[in-house]
Amino acid sequence: MHGLSVSFLNMSDQTPERAPLHVIRHPLQGYSESVLEQEMIVTALLNKQAKDTMIFTEHLPVYTLGTSAGSADVISREVDGEKIDVCKTGRGGEATYHGPGQLVCYVIVDISNEQDLHRHVWRLEEMIIRTLADFGIEAERNKRGIGVWVGGKKIAAVGVRCCKWVTFHGIALNINPNMRHFQGIITCGMADRPVVSMQGLGVDAEREAVEAKILVHADELFGASPDL
């Protein structure tokens, strides 16, 4: 997941007071099913019938093609004998992989008061940077592209879409996915596929523990305690 090409390194965390984030958790979910769920929440938010929402999920193995991706970004739909689906999607960016062991955080929020998508993306990155710090991993932004990086390798990819200033899609953090699956695509437009996971950095973390830290930092950055 990779979208939007500008990151702001020195933004303030100050945000207008928000209602609590509504949190949804799925153990495993098909990608198309997830997009449909997000679109339903976007519609509800636009009609003032839903709260700002964070969805935690993992996906069945899938390559997703953002608005800047082309068919050439998919090298192979089969890795180690396992066939991987390919889905086009309306988020920004190029090609990425989702699969079990990768925690996806979809943040569906109304930013009409700010109308600043760059700031929203900065918050998504910052949320993961602070979370990784809690696990002893020093992460950062990188001039190669949007997302979260460790030692020149991407550990979390960002891709967002905005509809009338309601944002959706979000950020995907590699906890312990099958990293060989990234070999089937030109990841985020980078032929050298510089990707890494928490496990690959020697950190064994349970999804529940990572979620708990993310929610703490979502509170700090999005300005409201999660509605659990």
Provide the 10 A C-beta neighbour count for residue 82.
13
pLDDT band for 156, please (50, 70, 90 cuts): very high
Boundaries of domain holding 70: 22-222
> Do the domain assignments include residue 175?
yes
- Residues paired with 29 in a beta bridge: 59
Percent of the chain with pLDDT over 90: 69
Rounded distance, CA 58 to CA 182, Å?
Answer: 16
Q: In this structure, what token pair is assigned to residue 67?
A: 């608005």
pLDDT band for 6, please (50, 70, 90 cuts): very low
- Give how many domains the chain has, as a whole number: 1
Tell me the average pLDDT across 212-227: 79
> Do the domain assignments include residue 96?
yes
Rounded distance, CA 165 to CA 86, Å?
Answer: 28
Q: Which of 87, 105, 162, 188 is catalytic?
A: 188
Q: What is the pLDDT of residue 115?
A: 93
> Do the domain assignments include residue 140?
yes
pTM above 0.85, yes or no: yes
Domain CATH number, residue 27: 3.30.930.10
3-state helix, strand, coil in the chain (%, to 5): 30, 30, 40
SS3 state of residue 181: helix
Contacts of 47 by beta carbon, 8 Å cutoff, 6+ apart: none
Q: Which of 217, 178, 174 is nearest to 198 (CA)?
A: 174
Which is more confidently placed, 129 or 7?
Answer: 129
Write out pLDDT tens, residues 172-190: 999 999 999 999 988 777 7
> Do the domain assignments include residue 1?
no
> Do the domain assignments include residue 14?
no
Residue 138 has pLDDT above 60, yes or no: yes
Is residue 87 flagged as an active site residue?
A: no
> Do the domain assignments include residue 135?
yes
Q: What is the pLDDT of residue 8?
A: 28
Q: What is the pLDDT of residue 17?
A: 60
- Residues paired with 23 in a beta bridge: 54
> Do the domain assignments include residue 11?
no
Residue 11 has pLDDT above 50, yes or no: no
> Do the domain assignments include residue 147?
yes
Write out pLDDT tens, residues 20-61: 789 999 999 999 999 999 999 999 999 999 999 999 999 999
- Residues paired with 102 in a beta bridge: 174
Q: For residue 87, give Cα distances in angstroms to 46, 120, 123.
A: 26, 25, 26
Which is more confidently placed, 168 or 12?
Answer: 168
Q: What is the pLDDT of residue 205?
A: 98
Q: In this structure, what token pair is assigned to residue 105?
A: 């955080």
Tell me the average pLDDT across 86-114: 92
Q: How high is the mean pLDDT of the chain?
A: 88
Q: If DSSP states are collapsed to H, E and C, what string results for 196-218?
A: CCCHHHCCCCCHHHHHHHHHHHH
Residue 7 has pLDDT above 50, yes or no: no
Residue 167 has pLDDT above 70, yes or no: yes
Residue 163 has pLDDT above 70, yes or no: yes
Percent of the chain with pLDDT over 70: 89
Rounded distance, CA 42 to CA 36, Å?
Answer: 10
Q: What is the pLDDT of residue 139?
A: 98
Write out pLDDT tens, residues 114-125: 999 999 999 999
